[in-house]
Amino acid sequence: MLELNGEWLFKVDPEDVGLSQLWYSANFDRTDWVSVEVPGFWERYSNFSKHDGIAWYYKSFEMPKIDKRKKYAIFFGGVDDDCGVWLNGEFVGEHRGYSDEFYFDVTKFLKPGENELVVMVIDHGGPGGIYKPVAIVEYSEISDLLKGEFYYKKARKSEEWVKDAVIYEVFPRAFSEKGTFKEVEREIPRLKELGINVIWLMPIHPIGEVKRKGTLGSPYSVKDYFKINPEYGTEEDLKSLVRTAHENGIKVIIDLVINHTAWDNDLIREHPEWYVKNNKGEIISPNSDWVDVADLNYDVQELRRYMIEVMRYWVREFDIDGYRCDVAELVPTDFWNEARKELDKIKPVMMLAEGSLPEQHLEAFDLTYSWNVYDALARIIRKGHLPSVLDNVLEGEKYKFPRGSLRLRFNENHDKPRAVKFFGEDGALVSALIVNTIPGVPLIYNGQEYGDTTNLSLFEKQVMSRDNSERGRKFYSFYKKLFNFRKKSLALRRGEMIKVKTSNDDKVYAFWRKYKDETVLVVANFSTWGVTTKLQVDEILRKKVKNGKVKFYDVFEEKTEEVKLEEFVNFKLEPFGFKLILIF
C-alpha cells in the first residue's frame, strides 16, 4: 500500500471554471495553488473556513514499481460531499456521498515513476474536503480497507414481519380529498391486495401555527406529542384504523419527530431549558431552513425521559407497531438505545431510522435509510453511469454495517421527487424493480402505485392522483405483481445476492437471489436503447438445467415455460426493460 496522505496542492473554484479550463490535466500550471494537509476538512485551512462549493486537490507521487500480474486501486476513506478523480490526466471515476469509503480501479492509469493525481471535490454545505486517508492499494487489500469498526459486529435481531415488510408511506392530508384516518382505513383492503404489510403514517400530531410555513404548515412541526391533528380525526378513528389494519395482517408505524418542536409547543413555555440556545440565550432552529421549528437539547435528562414516555404512550394506548424516526442522526444514539429497551418491554416493534449510521443497527433500530442506493440509481439511470456503480455501493454497505443490517430501499419518498418525474416512466419501473429485489426492505409512497406525478407539498393541501387510465393500470399491475411475488419469495426476502455476468455488463445488471432450493433471477437493462444480452452460464444455472432445458416462471408475464438452455440465456430487453424470473 502506498499512502498519499500529507502535503497536497489546493485551489477553490467558486466560479466552477476548473473543468472547462482543464485543471485536471497532466503538467497543468498550478503555481498559484496553495499547500495543504490531507486528510482534513478545508475549513481548517486559512481563508477557506466558510467556503462551500467546488475545490480542487493535486498530489504528485512516485510509484516505485508496478507488478503487471496485479490490479491496483485508489482508495478513499471519505470525501465530503462528492468528487471526481483524474490520474495522469485521465478520468478515473466519480463518487457521491460523504459517508462511504470507496475506490476506483487505476491499473490502466498508473505508471512506474511519477504520477499526478487530481481530485475535484463538490461540497453542498457544512464541512468539505478529503477528510479521510487516501492510498494506492493492491486489489487484495481492498476488502481489509473497507472493513469498518462495525463489520465484525452483529445487528440487533429483528422480528420476522420486519424482515418481510413492504412499507407504504401515507401522508394522510394528501391521501384523499377528506384527508382523514377514516379514508385511510377504507383503503386497507386495497393496500392488502396490493401486497402492502406495513403502513407508515407521516406525523399525526397537531401542527404549529407560529412561524408556520405555507397555509397548512408542515406535519414535522409538532405542537403536541400527546394529541392528534383534528384534521385527521379522533383518537378513536386512529384506534379503528390500527385495528382494521391488524385484522388484515398489516402493521402500522407512525412518524416520530423529536429532534425539534413547533414554536408554540407548550414545552417551550414550560421547559425552555430543554432547547438549544445561541450565545444570547435565545432558542434557535436546527438550521437556517427549518425556521418553523425549535431545536431540542438531548443533553437534558428530563427531556429524554419525557420523549421516552411519548414513545411508550402511542404503543401502549393505540397499539401501533413502531416508529419511523425523523432525522434520527441528529438525536444521540444512546437515547435511541434506551428508548428501544423501554418499547421492547411493551411489545415487539419496528424502529426505522431516517439516517445511515452503522451504530444505529446495534441496539435501537431495525432499519436505516439507504440514500446511497438511491443516489447510485440516479447516476446510472439519469446520467448513464455504469451499472457497476450499484455493486460498489452494495459492497461498501457489506463492509461498513453490522452483519444482518436491514436497509430501507426506495426510489421515491416525501423528501425526494416523484420517481416518474425524476427517472422517467420506464426508469421509475426499473428502479422500483431493483429496490424491491436487492437485499433490504422496500418502501412505496402515496400514489406511487399509480405512477403519480403530483408533487405533494408538505405545507399545502394537495391530493395524490389515482390514475385509472391504461397508464395507471400498468403501474398498478406492476407493483401488485412485484409485491405479491415478493411476499411468496423467501429468496427475495432472505436470500443471498449473487451477481451474474452478461455480454453487456456496461448496460445490463443481472443477479441471482437464492435461498435454499428457491432461485430467482433479475435482469435489468439500464440503457436508453434496446439490447440483446447473453447470461453467463454459471454453477447456479447449471444446477437448474434438466435434460438440457430450463423451466421458469416469468413474474410479470405470469407464465411458465420450459426452453433449451441456449434459448434461456439470451434476453432481448427494451430500453430500461427487465425480467424477474423464478427458476424451478
Q: CA–CA separation, 248 vs 188, rounded Å?
A: 7
Determine the 3-state secondary structure of 379 from DSSP.
helix
Q: In tens digits, what is the pLDDT along the chain, a chain of 584 residues?
A: 899 999 999 999 999 999 999 999 998 999 999 999 999 999 888 788 788 899 999 999 999 999 988 999 999 989 998 999 999 999 998 888 776 788 899 999 999 999 999 999 999 887 899 999 999 999 877 677 778 889 999 999 999 999 999 999 999 999 999 999 999 999 999 999 999 999 999 999 999 999 999 999 999 999 999 999 999 999 999 999 999 999 999 999 999 999 999 999 999 999 999 999 999 999 999 988 999 999 999 999 999 999 999 999 999 999 999 999 999 999 999 999 999 999 999 999 999 999 899 999 999 999 999 998 999 999 899 988 889 889 988 988 999 999 999 999 999 999 999 999 999 999 999 999 999 999 999 999 999 999 999 999 999 999 999 999 999 999 999 999 999 999 999 999 999 999 999 999 999 999 999 999 999 999 999 999 999 999 999 999 999 999 999 999 999 999 999 999 999 999 999 999 999 999 99
Kind plus residue range of the DSSP H or E element containing 446: none
543: how many CB neighbours lie within 10 A of its CB? 10
Size of the chain in residues:
584
Among residues 55, 33, 47, 22, the alpha carbon closest in space to that of 121 is found at 55
CATH superfamily of the 2-146 domain: Galactose-binding domain-like (2.60.120.260)
Kind plus residue range of the DSSP H or E element containing 148: none
Residue 274 per-residue DSSP state: G
Kind plus residue range of the DSSP H or E element containing 99: none
Whether 494-583 and 2-146 are alike in CATH topology: the answer is: no
Q: Where are the domains of the chain?
A: 2-146, 494-583
Q: CA–CA separation, 522 vs 430, rounded Å?
A: 11
3-state helix, strand, coil in the chain (%, to 5): 30, 30, 45
- Condensed to tens digits (0 to 9), the pLDDT of residues 221-258 reads 999 999 999 999 999 999 999 999 999 999 999 999 99
Which residues does residue 102 pair with via DSSP β-bridges, in sequence order? 76
CATH architecture type of domain 494-583 = Sandwich (2.60)
Contact at 8 Å (CB) between 82 and 50?
A: no
- The pLDDT, as a whole number, for residue 409 is 98
Q: CA–CA separation, 583 vs 235, rounded Å?
A: 48
First to last CA, the chain: 46
Contact at 8 Å (CB) between 126 and 132?
A: no
Contacts 24+ apart (CB under 8 A), 411-417: 411/374, 411/377, 411/435, 412/444, 412/445, 412/448, 413/169, 413/443, 413/445, 414/169, 414/171, 414/202, 414/445, 414/446, 414/456, 414/458, 416/374, 417/455
Contact at 8 Å (CB) between 222 and 208?
A: yes
Which residue blocks in 63-187 are alpha helix, DSSP H?
A: 139-146, 160-163, 172-175, 181-186
Q: What is the pTM of this model?
A: 0.86
Contact at 8 Å (CB) between 280 and 271?
A: no
In single-letter form, the type of residue at position 450 comes to Y
Q: CA–CA separation, 157 vs 499, rounded Å?
A: 26
Residue 291 CB burial class (10 angstroms; 0-12, 13-18, ≥19): middle
- Condensed to tens digits (0 to 9), the pLDDT of residues 415-445 reads 999 999 999 999 999 999 999 999 999 999 9
List the grid coordinates of 498: 449473487
